[in-house]
């Protein structure tokens, strides 16, 4: 089963009389446990595509299947439920909830989205804290940890629900080189451990270099796909 399959996927934005074609009838498919990167200049449609795959934005035309389900026409509540169950998100700005501790941030999707029982939930959070090496920081609040640590927490939060797919929009853009390397390495390790598919949109050559499949977008069109190096130097 392919994890993502797009057929003639189109996204138009209408502003007044002007219609902008952000994505123009692209087609691709991504296999499970892949490490995929969408690259391209600003305005090429990377984020729009990720938003559609993440069920945050419905396509204008075409068909999109994610984790085997057609997500082309989901209601906002159905989309939220689908995301909560199948998709994890990693954001450029980390987007941790400031009033929750590191532990609670990772716990949030299990608690507020999936409603796991207490013991199972705590075990899973502990496991993720260990996986991202943040056990010592569990009781700290986001404003008490570094950017790299925040992104590690974000990775743990994205994976805590055992999501089949993680979408990362410029995940290393706000990190220094060394930290960015660690985060990419961490995500790759997570992919290996949990067989999760990671899809990135990025400008970062380091991330691109580590991707196994690279899709290049320009003006909303998929120009080419190629096999990357697969992250040998992380």
Partner 1 sequence: MYNILKIAARNLQRYKRRTLLTSLLITLGVVSVLLFISVSGSFKAMMIGQITDSMLGHLQIHRKGYIASMDSLPLNRNLQGKQIAVAKKLLENTDTVEAYSMRIKFGAMFSNYSETTNVRLNAVTPEREMQTVPMLTKRIIKGKKEGLLNKGEILVPELVAKGMKIKLGDTIVLVATNKDGSVNGQPFVVRGVLEGISGPGGRDSYIHIDDARTLLRIEGKEISEIAVRLKNMDSTPVVIDAMKQELSTLKNAKGKPVFEVHGWEKLSPFSKIADMIDLMTLFIKIMLVAIVLVSIMNVMVMAVYERINEIGTIAAIGTTPGKIMALFLTEGLLLGVLGTLIGVGISLIAIFILNLAEISFDFGRQQGLILSPSIAPEDIIMVMAMVIAIAVLGSLQPAWKAAKMDPITALRHV
Q: Which of 194, 164, 170, 163 is nearest to 184 (CA)?
A: 170
CA distance 115 to 108: 9
For partner 1, the closer of residues 69 and 114 by Cβ is 114
User: Which positions from 162 through 201 interact with partner 1, judged by CB under 8 A?
Assistant: none
Cβ contacts of residue 48 below 8 Å, gap of 6+?
11, 22, 23, 57, 220
Tokens linked to 114: 């999936």
* Of 28-36, 97-105, 131-139, 195-203: span binding partner 1 (CB under 8 A): 97-105
Chosen residue from 3, 57, 168, 215 binding partner 1 by CB under 8 A: 57
Residue 13 touches partner 1, criterion: CB under 8 A: no
Least distance from C-beta 206 to partner 1, angstroms?
24
Chosen residue from 41, 68, 76, 230 binding partner 1 by CB under 8 A: 76
Least distance from C-beta 167 to partner 1, angstroms?
9
Interaction mask 112-151, partner 1, x per CB under 8 A: xxx-------------------------------------
Tokens linked to 174: 């706000």
CA distances from 49 to 44, 205, 230 (A): 10, 19, 22
* DSSP string for 103-139: HHHHHHIIIIIS---HHHHHHHHHHHHHHTT-GGGTT
Residue 5 touches partner 1, criterion: CB under 8 A: no
CA distance 108 to 223: 38
* Of 2-10, 106-114, 130-138, 226-234: span binding partner 1 (CB under 8 A): 106-114
Binding residues for partner 1, per CB under 8 A? Answer: 51, 54, 56-57, 76-77, 80-85, 87-89, 91, 93, 95, 97-100, 108-109, 111-114, 157-158
């Amino acid at each position: 089963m392919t994890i993502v399959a797009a057929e003639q996927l189109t996204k138009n934005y209408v502003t007044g009389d002007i219609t902008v074609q952000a994505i123009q009838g692209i087609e691709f498919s991504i296999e499970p446990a892949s490490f995929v990167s969408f690259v391209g200049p600003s305005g090429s449609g990377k984020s729009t595509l990720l938003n559609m795959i993440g069920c945050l934005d419905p396509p204008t035309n075409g068909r999109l299947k994610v984790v085997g389900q057609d997500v082309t026409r989901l209601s906002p509540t159905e989309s939220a439920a689908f995301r909560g169950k199948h998709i994890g998100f990693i954001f450029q700005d980390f987007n941790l909830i400031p009033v929750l501790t590191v532990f609670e941030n990772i716990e949030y999707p299990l608690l507020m989205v999936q409603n796991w029982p207490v013991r199972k939930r705590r075990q899973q959070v502990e496991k993720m804290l260990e996986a991202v090496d943040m056990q010592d920081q569990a009781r700290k609040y986001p404003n008490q940890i570094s950017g790299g640590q925040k992104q590690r927490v974000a990775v743990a939060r994205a994976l805590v629900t055992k999501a089949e797919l993680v979408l990362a929009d410029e995940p290393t853009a706000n990190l220094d080189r060394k930290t960015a390397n660690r985060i990419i390495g961490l995500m790759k390790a997570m992919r290996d451990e949990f067989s999760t598919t990671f899809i990135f949109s990025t400008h970062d050559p380091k991330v691109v270099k580590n991707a196994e499949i690279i899709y290049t977008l320009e003006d909303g069109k998929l120009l080419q796909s190629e096999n990357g190096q697969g992250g040998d130097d992380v």
